[in-house]
Structure 1
Amino acid sequence: MFKSVLIANRGEIACRIMRTAKRMGMRTIAVHSQADAKALHVKLADEAHLIGPAPAAQSYLVIEKIIAAAKASKAECIHPGYGFLSENTAFAKACADNGIVFVGPPPSAIEAMGLKDRAKALMEKAGVPVVPGYHGDKQDPPFLKRKAYEIGYPVLIKAVAGGGGKGMRRVDKHADFDDALEGAMREAQNAFGDARVLIEKYITAPRHIEMQVFADSHGNAIHLNERDCSLQRRHQKVIEEAPAPGMSDALRAEMGQAAVAAAKAAGYVGAGTIEFIADGAGGLKSGGFWFMEMNTRLQVEHPVTEAVTGLDLVEWQFRVAHGEKLPLKQDQVPLEGHAVEARLYAEDPEKSFLPSTGRLIALDFPKADGLRVDTGVESGDEVTPFYDPMIAKLIAKGETREAALDILANALDATVVIGPRSNAGFLAALARSPDFRGGAFDTGFIDTHLSELVGAHGLDHEAVAFGAEALMASEHDRVAERRESIDSPWDADDGFQLSGTRRLIVPLIVEGQKVNAEVTYEGGAAKVTVNGASPAADAMAIIADDAVYVLQRGRQTKLALRDLSLGEDANEGGGGLVRAPMHGKVLAVLVEQGATVARGQRLAIIEAMKMEHTLTASVDGTVAEIAASVGAQIAEGAKVMMIAPADGA
């Protein structure tokens, strides 16, 4: 077996690979950017090498720097993890050219499956069913629009290169095609350096079913059962599970046979995933699935397969890369119980899931039977705008699907993320959704049920009251430390007054809003209320950085004492101020200074963590100022432009 491995990745997948590598006796070597100098994967590694500045394009994506680190550390092999260079043909070739084993498929297989149009042509030749559509080389927009019309709406525009939902748009009407194509091509170019797209028929009740395949260099290939990845948002997976609800043994064998045929057609070696789109209308059925693409790497959701098979897929990767045969034959692959995985992200569900950056003031995960947590961060770490905002993956296994979902939902309730916002509450609501539990779901489920899953917006007065109570207790303790004793009633901080009910109004700033908490004293005990609401019974609070962070069912509320000496916010009520909703890069400014704009009109496009976000006008008016330039990095909350409201706006 290999004696050393360099992990050409970061975050939770780097930490996860290290666990297996260390168990197998390997020396582990990390690479890191300047932003990741104190990251968890760096701390866990036996050796670490700096490879460049924070942007991935200057560090984790630079092949020469990775190879140089591997040579300097005398690494025998490189594991690419997923993302970054994991599906890069040039990187796999560079490893081979420098005598370093690439823990993944041969470059020819990556190349064959890396471009969706060529992959589909290869699958058609191998007899694997393919979604109807246009997969050719011609990229003239009018031609593509005509092809979409011929295929019949709705259609899906997909980037030829890459994955992860980048460069993908669903189009329901012919009139919307041009804007969707422009956005998909621009996003594909930015993410993959390749603007080409293909057009496919959109299945109206789609289920996303993928088969985990494994092949060795001795001609053996098998599948390790399926995963259902239908719960998606913006074409990115949110919750995955194994086995797929409603999957029969016969259909599993049929899809598995097609997946193995696909792997063999590509000359595949190692771990890979064949992704199918299935028609979920009326349930999964024979003949109702089509090849979408192949991921020539380990998948984010591989732990659910590990949970139901009892196998370590990273260990299999190392053994196959070392030249060993597959450890099992097809009829020996286990399938026991049910597993489900949730991706915990630093994002704000109440603000359209915008990425949320900042210091992790507190991070804690529960311990429970059947629960596994894979993470690459810890308390005190920074969630930066440079990389994917995943905090952790929570994987739950139970004897039944219901039991696994219960374990997951309870674990999410008990997860503590304070600082950046997280989607923990949203994920728990998803795991408890009656329709999802009942099997009535497809890839559009989250969008259809979004309002009930995200819950009510606005301030939760019970949570605010809980935070105000914690703030008052903290202030009381601070005063008590400063003062040894109370010499007279006039020094007391209990709201003392000569007659009537003793009341104290505490001015707060809560999520940027002015709120007053009322403290009443009865019999020496203080009672805190906000708008008549008492403190929540199921919340927790942490005081840090002169603020109180309240966490209740995965939802975070930040509050602090309001400094009345500062006066009113000069921008309050200024609906014409357009701010950046997150840290990111300005991709486009769509209006000019002096232009007249209407409410809802597109003003600018910001890219954060590989996703595009469009800023729109909140009022009718005139562009009075443009404060951001194309290509510039911009901080969360920074001014992008100012709209002078029209009369009456």
Structure 2
Amino acid sequence: MFSKILIANRGEIALRILRACRELGIKTVAVHSTADADAMHVRLADEAVCIGPAASRDSYLNVAAILAAATITGAEAIHPGYGFLSENADFAETVEAHGLTFIGPTADHIRMMGDKITAKTTMEALGVPLVPGSDGELKSLEEARAVAEKVGYPVLIKATAGGGGRGMKVAQSASELEEAWSVARTEARTAFGNDAVYLEKYLDKPRHIELQILADNHGNVVHFGERDCSLQRRHQKLLEEAGSPVLSAEQRDAIGRTATDALAKMGYRNAGTLEFLYQDGQFCFIEMNTRLQVEHPVTEMVCDVDLVREQIRIAAGEELGYTQSDISFSGHAIECRINAEDPDTFAPCPGTVAVYHPPGGLGVRVDSALYTGYRVPPYYDSMIAKVIVHAPTRAQAIARMHRALDEFVVEGIKTVIPLHRRILADPEFQKGEYTIHWLEQFTSRPH
């Protein structure tokens, strides 16, 4: 086991990793920008190193500074968390080249799954079902038209290097295809420096279902069930559940076997999440995230597992020590992402937290690095906390989340807590009758 780990991240995820390290008896090194000098993970870590000014490119994306911090502090491994460098294959490769351990998958697997076309062709070859579409990158508009006619409209043009909803455009008919093709490529070029696109059949009422995987270096692969992440705005998740209101245990087991078999054949290691669109009883693979997910706590709550602890154990060369039959699922969990945003306009609202009082009680967990007097900086993602609840049933989990949000006090800045209250009170949500398009429609309604 490692004696010291550097945490190459900030905010609640840095604190989450720090806590797992503490319970394993591992010393921690926090890196931070000048804007995060007073951050909670910096205060609680055994050592802290400033790696640059506020801008991410000069600090949390500064590979040389991070590696220098690891070297001078004697860290043996680096945990990237999520975001920033977590899915940067070159970073993972460089970490290993410097004699350190990257707590995550191999650089080859990060690279393979980071390109959506390669990811899809790889998974298809391993028996994982896909959304109907092009076999790979589209070379011309004429080729796009031919594929669209074959799979049928509406279709979705997607950037091969895409993420966060950028480089994605829907064409409802042949007359809209040229504009969708042009806009998607322009967005992709601007956002990713790569204008390669491919085409998929556009599903009109899918759920976004993802499967949590862990794999060790000894050929053992298990899954920890599904998360329903269908409540999204502009392809950004806002509320997640484990398990999904629409899946049966039999469906979970079936897709779980397919996914674990595929990753075992790949020789995958560490944590990963396979994401699917689910409609009319069919799963269609869309992408794989080769890292820890923001929404991992709902899985932890229903499976009673510390996923970060498991990541560290795997990276240290330990075996999982359990099989799929040892994993059980208990109750229902819901996570609400609390963003420092206006709940109606979604405009970011950085500033000083005048009062902070998190909720508590049975089955309530809050992952946050906030404290009274903390200044939420304007330079990074607006998520400032996650409220996670667990209860025996979904209805009880909804009631518990209502109660928790009513207790949650964050003054001095605006947050999306009022929006979460509205969602939880909606009859369609309470019945589990929503798709990936539901939240966009919900937020456009007058209230």
TM-score by length of 1: 0.66
What residue in structure 2 maps to residue 8 of structure 1?
8
CA RMSD of aligned residues (A): 1.9
Question: Does the CA-based 8 Å contact 2:300-2:307 persist in structure 1?
Answer: yes
Opposite residue 298 of structure 2, the aligned amino acid is: V
Structure 1: 5+ residue runs without aligned partners?
A: 457-649
Question: Which residue does the alignment assign to 2:205?
Answer: 205
Deviations 1:71-101 (A, max 9, x none): 1111010001011111111011111100100
Q: CA deviation at 1:28?
A: 0.7
State the 1:365 CA deviation.
1.4
Deviation at 1:182, TM superposition (A): 4.6
Letter in 2 for 1:448: Q
Match for residue 424 of structure 2?
431
Give ranges in structure 2 of 5+ residues lacking alignment. Answer: none
The equivalent residue for 1:514 is none
**Aligned equivalent of 2:300:** 306
Amino acid in the other structure paired with 2:351 = G
Q: How does 1:408-423 map onto structure 2 within 5 Å?
A: 408-423=401-416
CA contact (8 A) 2:138 2:199 kept: no
Q: Which amino acid aligns with 1:70?
A: A
* In structure 1, C-alpha distance between the alignment counterparts of 2:283 and 2:316, rounded to whole Å: 34
* 2:363 aligned residue: 370
Q: Which amino acid in structure 1 is aligned with residue 47 of structure 2? A: E
**Offset from partner CA, 1:135-194 (integer Å, 9 cap, x none):** 523444564455445533222232322533333333334444455445444444454443
- Aligned pair in 2 of structure 1 residues 6, 263: CA closer, same or farther (>3 Å)? same
**Alpha-carbon spacing, 1:266–1:161, altered in 2? closer, same or farther (3 Å):** farther
Q: What whole-Å deviation, never above 9, does each CA across 1:234-281 have from its counterpart, x for those lacking one?
A: 1111111111113222211111011113322432100100111110x4
State the one-letter code of the partner of 1:298: L
| % same residue | 47
* C-alpha distance in 2 between matches for 1:234 and 1:132: 23
Structure 2 counterpart of 1:347, from 322, 325, 341 = 341
Q: How does 1:113-262 map to 2 (within 5 A)?
A: 113-140=113-140, 143-144=143-144, 147-148=147-148, 150-262=150-262
Offset, 1:289: 0.8
CA distance in 2, matches of 1:162, 1:319: 31
Q: CA deviation at 1:414?
A: 2.2
Q: Does residue 319 of the first structure (1) align with residue 297 of the second (2)?
A: no
Q: Judge conservation of contact 1:131–1:291 (CA < 8 Å) in 2.
A: yes
Which protein is bigger by CA-based radius of gyration? 1
CA distance in 2, matches of 1:188, 1:37: 34
Cα distance change of structure 1 residues 139 and 77 upon mapping to structure 2, 3 Å threshold? same
Aligned partners of 2:185, 2:371: CA distance in 1, in Å? 37
SS of aligned partner of 1:293: strand
- For residues 389-436 of structure 1, give each alpha carbon's deviation from its aligned partner in whole angstroms, at most 9, with x where no partner exists: 001000000010011111112211222222332110111111222111
Note if contact 2:138-2:197 (Cα within 8 Å) is conserved in structure 1: no
Q: Is the 8 A contact 2:16 2:367 kept in 1?
A: yes
Any conservation in 2 of the 1:363–1:417 contact (CA below 8 Å)?
Answer: yes
The corresponding residue for 1:29 is 29
Amino acid at match of 1:428: R
Give the conservation status (yes or no) of the 8 Å contact 1:112–1:266: no
Distance 1:313 1:45, change over 3 A: same
Alignment length, in residue pairs? Answer: 447
Q: What TM-score, normalized by structure 2, do the two folds share?
A: 0.95
Higher helix share: 2
Are 1:309 and 1:336, in contact at CA under 8 Å, matched by a contact in 2?
A: yes
The residue number in structure 1 matching 2:377 is 384
What SS class does the counterpart of residue 391 from structure 1 fall into?
strand
2:332 to 338, 342, 346: 338
DSSP-derived class of the 1:170 partner = strand
Q: How does 1:408-487 map to 2 (within 5 A)?
A: 408-452=401-445, 456=447
User: 1:603-622 alignment to 2 at 5 Å?
Assistant: none
Higher relative contact order (CA 8 A, sep 6+): 2
State the distance in 2 between where 1:11 and 1:115 align.
Answer: 28
* Structure that is richer in strand per residue: 1
Deviations 1:442-468 (A, max 9, x none): 11111222245xx53xxxxxxxxxxxx
Distance 1:378 1:175 in 2: 53
Partner letter of residue 357 of structure 1? Answer: P
Q: C-alpha separation between the residues in 2 aligned to 1:29 and 1:405?
A: 37
Of the structure 1 ranges 414-423 and 403-412, higher mean CA displacement relative to structure 2 is found in: 414-423
